[in-house]
Amino acid sequence: MRTLEELEMRLAEPSEALIGDLAELSGDIIVIGAGGKLGPSLVKLAANASQASGASRQIIAVSRFGSPGSEEQLRGPGIRTVATDVTDERALFELPDAENVVYLVGEKFGSTQSAASTWATNAYLPGRIAERFAGARIAALSTGTVYPMVPAESGGCTEEAAVAPIGDYAMSCVGRERILTHFAARTGSPLALIRLNYAVEMRYGILIDLATMILEGTPIDLSMPAANVVWQGYANEVTLRSLLHAAAASPFVINVTGPETVSIRYAASRLAERLGRDVNFRGEESQVAFLSNAAKCFGLFGYPSVTLDALIDATADWIAAGGATHGRPTKFQTSDGRF
């Protein structure tokens, strides 16, 4: 994964398990929020898996497509793009019907300064989507920050842990889950909630943040001592495969992340070694962090195909070669919920 073409090919390469699941799934898949960081790779993955399965379906990619060329990039066999603003009521109800919805819309950065907008996007809009697609299967992206911070040695929060959101972003994400659960029960829409905890690929994520700081000589803040990371391709696969597990009476909730509790000190030191640079640290390591336990996910869907060491190596190669990034730091160091 040394070039953009290689990276995108790897992200869009379906596993046999995904191909098998999409062969069982009936109907088209509409991906709302397809123009964001996750959306393009998920859309292409869904199209490739559907073609390989022999299923006759459309993958409908919905977004404002604000970036130049973003809509054209997604056009291809089995993919239909719809450029629209789903916050517009008329535009929302003019969307094509689909039996399956993957909902990726969310607002995180700037949520403290724009709390009202954050709540409208993360908690109000999902209800409108659920009403528009009443009866459809819905897989909706959520976040591991709905859980409390826990000791690094705890292994992370399981899906049974009580939510305890900190700050407007995390609270509004709990709001999203509650609103979708309400409408799922009312309309009979099978629902899956994907609590994703720091997906990474070569253009963004915690590892890119660390590598960039190392190259710039910026000290690494250790106040958040550990984190979870997972290969974006795996997160996309689980999101799509979760459609078959969606349930109306009680939503299917799944933590999606990697198997390791990753020490920030360890990951930064490994990246610095690969980059041939020194690394500086600052701050004291806290005893707690935002951590998720994805044992349920691994039991259902298997383990990620790209390991932590492989992700570290690929990130170092990418950043050393001057590879493009999305320029959107994760702010993983944040512990007060102010993103």
Average pLDDT by stretches of 10, the chain with 339 residues = 90 97 97 92 97 95 88 90 94 96 88 85 96 97 96 95 94 97 94 96 95 95 95 98 94 97 96 96 93 98 96 96 88 80
Q: How far apart are CA 102 and CA 100, in angstroms?
A: 7
Q: Which residue type occupies 141?
A: L
Q: Which residue type occupies 121?
A: T
Backbone φ and ψ for 171, nearest 5 degrees, come out as -65, -40
pLDDT of residue 129: 96
Instruction: Name the burial class of residue 318, with classes exposed (0-12), middle (13-18) and buried (19+) by CB atoms within 10 angstroms of its CB.
Output: buried
Strand-pairing partners, residue 247, are 191
pLDDT of residue 110: 67
pLDDT of residue 274: 96
Q: How far apart are CA 62 and CA 42, in angstroms?
A: 12
Strand-pairing partners, residue 54, are none
Q: How far apart are CA 62 and CA 150, in angstroms?
A: 37
Q: How far apart are CA 57 and CA 61, in angstroms?
A: 13
- Of 330, 35, 339, 40, the C-alpha closest to 212 is 330
Q: How far apart are CA 312 and CA 299, in angstroms?
A: 25
Supply 81's token pair: 């793009």
pLDDT of residue 332: 86
CB 63 within 8 A of CB 70: yes
pTM of the model: 0.95
Question: Which 8-state DSSP code applies to residue 328?
Answer: -
Q: What is the C-alpha R_g of the chain?
A: 19
Three-state secondary structure call for residue 299: helix
Q: How far apart are CA 308 and CA 263, in angstroms?
A: 12
Q: How far apart are CA 124 and CA 176, in angstroms?
A: 7
Q: Which residue type occupies 43?
A: V
Supply 36's token pair: 């964001």
Three-state secondary structure call for residue 273: helix
- Of 233, 251, 250, 230, the C-alpha closest to 242 is 251
Supply 115's token pair: 């709390």
Q: How far apart are CA 176 and CA 173, in angstroms?
A: 5
CB 338 within 8 A of CB 283: no
CB 271 within 8 A of CB 214: yes
